[in-house]
Structure 1
Amino acid sequence: MAGNEAPILVHHGTTSNQLPLHKFKRWHWWLLVSINIFFLLAGQCAAVLLGRYYYDKGGNSKWLATLVQTAAFPILLVPLLFIPSTLKPSTESTSSSIAVISFIYVILGVVIAGDNMLYSVGLLYLSASTYSLICATQLAFNAIFSYFINSQKFTALIFNSVVVLSLSASLIAVNDDSSGPSGLSKWKYALGFLTTLAASALYSLLLSIMQLTFQKVLKRETFAVVLEMQIYTSVVATCVAIIGLFASGEWRTLHGEMNGFTEGRTSYIMTIIGTAVSWQVCSVGVVGLIFVVSSLFSNVISTLSLALTPIASVIIFHDRMNGVKIIAMLMAIWGFATYIYQNYLDDLKARKLQSEHADGNYQSPSSYC
């Protein structure tokens, strides 16, 4: 993540061989946050566009689209190899048994697979720009889950961010011009909208549960633990997707789908690989921000793709960008900006507290957001 720096621990707890966030320099903390934001935005934007490209050029397998969202998890083993062994999690350092942790990972993996399927169905029936704007509702869902599960505190600016982003997605829902990519029927558009909405709610719940797992079960919030959670849950989700691919019989159509791909077999393979890698890059950013800041902040950053994906969709896929979509996008950007401003105010408060304590007991902005 941040070069050869030691993994960072959030403010919820420490161990003898972990570096607490409040002892980490401010610019180090912001660098780590910035890197994770880049991973999330670049990975999510690329993955959505490649997913839409797959469907537009002849792809039709929902289970394959689900599988590629987690299948590239082996690439996460690479950064894990560069983490010193003294900083890797051990069974002696956690009060929870391996059985309990394994059970949580299995449950999370199964739910992730189901959530990925919902997203795959939504992207099949919606344009990339419409799909991305509907996904903004995940912030509103996460606000609710964070309040009840993670004891998230809200300010007027955060509340404003949630409301504005929710209204932005609502505009898309009532937009009569939001037809699917191939002029699909109204009921298929409605199905795409509802599945994407359900996926956003489930995704938000997952983020809050992951944060709770870090705090209450794993109790070692290092980047090594972040990676291991991502790897193990991805293994389970990938296995579920493979079972679904064979149980549904869609695997029989893949050879013909590849031969019939508009841009050729090579393009088909590269699209699948690129989508898989992009989703893993996005996942590292998502879980990394949960680790460094909070699940709500991670979800807010996800909505920033609303300023990128719709514009890229218009350029690449010639999606229709009518007045309602433009207003929805501007509202989404405003909602994101107000939340970022709240984090800026939190950082100023943290610096003030730091100057007031002679022992340098600095708390990161994550302590307040």
Structure 2
Amino acid sequence: MSTNIVVTEEPQPLRFREYKRWLRVTLYAILLLACQCSATLLGTLYFEKGGKSRWIASFVLSAGFPILLPLLFYSQKHVKSTKHPNNDPPKTKPKPSMICSFYLAFGLMMAAMNLLYTYGISYLPLSTFTLVCTSQLGFNAIFTFFINSQKFTALIFNSIVVLTLSIALIALNTESEDTKHHPKEKQIIGFFCALAASATFSLHHSLLQVYFKEVVKTETLSVVLNMNFYPMLIATFSGLVGLVVSGDWKKLQTEMKEFENGKVSYVMTLVWIAVTWQLAFVGMLGLIFEVSSLFSIVIGNMELSITPILAVMVFGDKIYGVKVIAFLLAIWGFLSYVYQHYLDDQKTKKNISNGPEVSKVEEEN
């Protein structure tokens, strides 16, 4: 005698929810790319039109964090209203002191990243700066290998080699004809600051993955928002301390008067830098929540391929032969990285689909 348990087809509402999920993913990706490109262009505009304070520019990168407050309140209210609907016991949570130490560490890391980023974008043409920032992918591959146990594949290795060649070409041509305001020495400083900012960014995301998987062991909307809001608060406070200690706050009125487009334009430029960066972070957080931290990095790095083209259109950056080759190499490295991510995703789906779809219980008399 045998008894078969028949599994019915996937219900339509489940498929509809999946479509809605990927619609949200698409909207988050568009928000991330559009706002990240806009924020980078506005950051360059600030220095192009007469802005001089790196501390002010660094401060506004995180100062827009209050925009996240409505989402934060909503997420916490939603968690309270849906807490243990099935009377399941709560998961063991890490101690508040441990969580606060992570907030502090990530906040200080973010503050350092903001300052390095600001020095890079102030000393380099925008197209050169974004090409240097493509090193994020290479750094991310290295950090995920050592920290997140990500395997090195031929495509990942190819991506690292190609991106390294691209960065080397830029490093050897910092004296190119697109130099406008800064001598070669400052361009070299800008190059290494942009490189260090990229490394810090990749390390931040790798450690963020560890935090979600090993410390809090969840990626709920509330947890993801908390991990962005409180480090942003600490980074903003750190930038404010740097602004006061450096004395740059005293130059604010003078800088505002000397800004080429006027006082209103000066204020609006800084305000929109803060707003667009925070909206970009909302897109990034959405991708982390809906898919993964790694996926958010891959989508975010698409901006590095778009911005050099926008830099030529908006700021008239010159595209000479070496920069074109570096740009094409960066695109090649990026596509290799994305394709490897696609293969990993397909492999994961295949493993799931090959799992037990029908359970059979056989009894023989």
Residue matched to 2:9: none
Residue matched to 2:64: 72
- Change over 3 Å in CA distance of 1:233–1:128 after alignment to 2: same
Residue matched to 2:120: 122
Q: Contact (CA 8 Å) 2:178, 2:317: kept in 1 or not?
A: no
In the TM superposition, residue 297 of structure 1 has moved relative to its aligned partner by: 3.7
Separation in structure 1 between the aligned mates of residue 122 and residue 178 of structure 2, nearest angstrom: 8
- Change over 3 Å in CA distance of 1:147–1:29 after alignment to 2: farther
Q: Structure 2, unaligned stretches of length 5 or more? A: 1-13, 84-89, 359-365
Q: Write out per-residue CA displacement over residues 154-177 of structure 1, whole angstroms, 9 at most, x where no aligned residue.
A: 322232223222322222111255
Amino acid at match of 1:270: M
Separation in structure 1 between the aligned mates of residue 294 and residue 166 of structure 2, nearest angstrom: 18
In the TM superposition, residue 145 of structure 1 has moved relative to its aligned partner by: 1.1
1:334 aligns with 2:326: no
Q: Write out per-residue CA displacement over residues 314-346 of structure 1, whole angstroms, 9 at most, x where no aligned residue.
A: 111001111222222222222222233233333
- Change over 3 Å in CA distance of 1:31–1:157 after alignment to 2: farther
Residue matched to 1:263: 261
Residue matched to 2:226: 228
Q: Contact (CA 8 Å) 1:146, 1:296: kept in 2 or not?
A: no
Instruction: Choose from 174, 183, 199 the match for 1:201.
Output: 199
- Change over 3 Å in CA distance of 1:348–1:142 after alignment to 2: closer
Q: Please report the TM-score for the alignment, with normalisation by the length of structure 2.
A: 0.85
Q: Contact (CA 8 Å) 1:258, 1:264: kept in 2 or not?
A: yes
Structure number with greater CO (CA < 8 Å, separation at least 6) is 2
Amino acid at match of 2:51: G
Q: Contact (CA 8 Å) 1:70, 1:237: kept in 2 or not?
A: yes
Q: Structure 1, unaligned stretches of length 5 or more? A: 1-21, 361-369
1:16-55 paired onto structure 2 within 5 Å: 26-55=18-47
Residue matched to 1:142: 140
Q: Contact (CA 8 Å) 1:119, 1:195: kept in 2 or not?
A: yes
Residue matched to 2:87: none
Residue matched to 2:11: none
- Change over 3 Å in CA distance of 1:302–1:175 after alignment to 2: farther
In percent, how many aligned pairs have the same letter?
A: 47
Separation in structure 2 between the aligned mates of residue 304 and residue 32 of structure 1, nearest angstrom: 18
In the TM superposition, residue 291 of structure 1 has moved relative to its aligned partner by: 4.4
Residue matched to 2:158: 160
Instruction: Choose from 285, 297, 300 the match for 2:298.
Output: 300
Residue matched to 1:5: none
Separation in structure 2 between the aligned mates of residue 290 and residue 163 of structure 1, nearest angstrom: 27
Residue matched to 1:363: none
Highest CA radius of gyration, 1 or 2?
A: 2
In the TM superposition, residue 294 of structure 1 has moved relative to its aligned partner by: 4.5
Aligned length: 338
Instruction: Choose from 77, 80, 101 the match for 1:85.
Output: 77
In the TM superposition, residue 151 of structure 1 has moved relative to its aligned partner by: 1.0
Amino acid at match of 1:227: L
Tell me the C-alpha RMSD between the 2 structures.
2.5
- Change over 3 Å in CA distance of 1:152–1:346 after alignment to 2: closer
Between 1:158-167 and 1:50-59, the stretch displaced more is: 158-167
Q: Contact (CA 8 Å) 1:43, 1:281: kept in 2 or not?
A: yes
Separation in structure 1 between the aligned mates of residue 152 and residue 292 of structure 2, nearest angstrom: 13
Q: Contact (CA 8 Å) 1:143, 1:296: kept in 2 or not?
A: no
In the TM superposition, residue 211 of structure 1 has moved relative to its aligned partner by: 1.0
In the TM superposition, residue 84 of structure 1 has moved relative to its aligned partner by: 6.8
- Change over 3 Å in CA distance of 1:273–1:94 after alignment to 2: farther
Q: Contact (CA 8 Å) 2:127, 2:307: kept in 1 or not?
A: yes
Residue matched to 1:6: none
